[in-house]
Amino acid sequence: MDNGQDQAPILSVRNLKTYFFQDEGTVHAVDGATFDLARGKTLGIVGESGCGKSVTARSVLRIVERPGLIAEGEIVLRRQHPAGQTDELDLTKVDADGALMRSIRGKDIGLIFQEPMTSFSVHYTIGNQIAEAVRLHLKLPPRQARERAIEMLRLVGIPKPDRRVDEYSFQLSGGLRQRAMIAMALSCDPGILIADEPTTALDVTTQAQILALLERLQQERGMAIMLITHNLGVVAEMCDDVVVMYLGRVVEKGPVDQIFHDAKHPYTQALLRSIPSIESESRVKLPTISGSIPHPYNRPKGCPFHPRCPEAMPGVCDAQAPTLLPVGPGQEASCFLYHQPDPKDLVDL
């Protein structure tokens, strides 16, 4: 029987703020994100480009490039050890360049990069790069590390893995390269897999194969997946829970069925309306979201979405930023349509 600790999320992000301090101003790439990743489940993080999805993933792995840094918040990783005990580790307190954080990357948290072509070195074979990760984290000798690399390539469905292991990334097709990236990310049996746009630039058939592969590997290994994407169709197919981000903030989160069938936030509703449907009338333009994401140096006051929101309330939405509060069972939204603003913050309007 699982105890209460076993039921705790494998990853908890609380009020995460990742800022980039530049001469032109401060970019609030992630501005107070809060969410949980449950064990063995898939969490989808969605939103338009520039909403902070990838920076959130990089913050978890502590690989945010300078001048970016985590200004505030907690990233709590709950690790299970072979003996059965579980420990909690706040990754924001860990040295990003230290031995502990390097041991967590790959072993506890795997990452599928957005661009596998640029993620593999062209100077080494894919087998050498997978074996290097295995030797680092699992402490296996070279021969066993190579065998592990072949085993992983076979696991992800790459044909003739004993031959492909000695090929370079530029010798593989886009789909095989993506499978090789998944093989490297899973080579040390991580409890969490972060997949950053794993089907970008792949044809529809290959996309379906990659998603089916991730689902199968998750079922076999029981790992949790954080899926970062702008493709809501992928989210509907793959995810258990959804986090919707806009301009670095979480504007809505909840179970995938509730988000898709009863979205509360106007931004989430607008994203869902833009999805093509087989029931859509032919030769009719799909609804779009007016305007565009504000420039990072010119963030609007109040709710970040109010300049584009058809339901914005003057004097309210442009004066105070809403907070993320419950709007249903397991569902939260950051919108004044469901929560009254604090009157003391509106008296000067």
Check residue 197 and give its pLDDT. Answer: 87
Token pair in block for residue 235: 């989210």
Compute CA 287 distance to the chain's CA centroid, rounded to the nearest angstrom: 26
Question: Exposure of 194 by Cβ count < 10 A (0-12 exposed, 13-18 middle, 19+ buried)?
Answer: buried
Is residue 168, in this structure, part of any structural domain at all? yes
Check residue 284 and give its pLDDT. Answer: 77
Check residue 6 and give its pLDDT. Answer: 52
Strand spans (E) along 235-275: 241-246, 249-255
Strands 224-228 and 42-46: parallel
- How many Å apart are CA 211 and CA 199, to the nearest integer? 8
Is residue 40, in this structure, part of any structural domain at all? no
Which residue reads 């530049």 in tokens? 22
Question: Exposure of 97 by Cβ count < 10 A (0-12 exposed, 13-18 middle, 19+ buried)?
Answer: exposed
Check residue 4 and give its pLDDT. Answer: 43
Range of the domain at 147: 117-189
Is residue 183, in this structure, part of any structural domain at all? yes
Cβ contact 10:191 at 8 Å: yes
State the amino acid at position 340 in one-letter form.
Q
Cβ contact 155:183 at 8 Å: yes
Work out how many domains the chain is built from and give that number.
1
- How many Å apart are CA 25 and CA 27, to the nearest integer? 7
- How many Å apart are CA 72 and CA 304, to the nearest integer? 20
b/e sequence 149-159, b meaning 16+ C-beta within 10 Å: bbebbbbbbbe
Which residue reads 């592990």 in tokens? 148
Is residue 52, in this structure, part of any structural domain at all? no
Check residue 349 and give its pLDDT. Answer: 36
Is residue 178, in this structure, part of any structural domain at all? yes
Check residue 346 and give its pLDDT. Answer: 54
In the DSSP assignment, the letter for residue 264 is -
Compute CA 100 distance to the chain's CA centroid, rounded to the nearest angstrom: 22
Work out the number of other CB atoms within 10 angstroms of the CB of residue 329.
8
Check residue 200 and give its pLDDT. Answer: 74
Q: What is the pLDDT along the chain (349 residues), one digit of tens a residue?
A: 344 445 789 999 999 999 999 888 899 999 999 999 999 999 999 998 889 999 999 999 999 998 999 999 999 999 887 777 788 999 999 999 999 999 999 999 999 887 766 778 889 999 999 999 999 899 999 999 999 999 999 989 899 999 999 999 999 988 888 889 999 999 998 999 999 988 777 788 888 888 898 999 899 889 999 999 988 888 999 999 999 999 999 999 999 999 999 999 999 999 998 887 767 677 777 778 888 888 878 889 999 999 999 999 998 999 889 999 999 889 999 999 998 887 655 544 3
Check residue 290 and give its pLDDT. Answer: 85
Helix (H) or strand (E) holding 210: helix 204-221
Q: Which residues, 6+ apart, have CB-to-CB distance to 88 below 8 Å?
A: 76, 77, 78
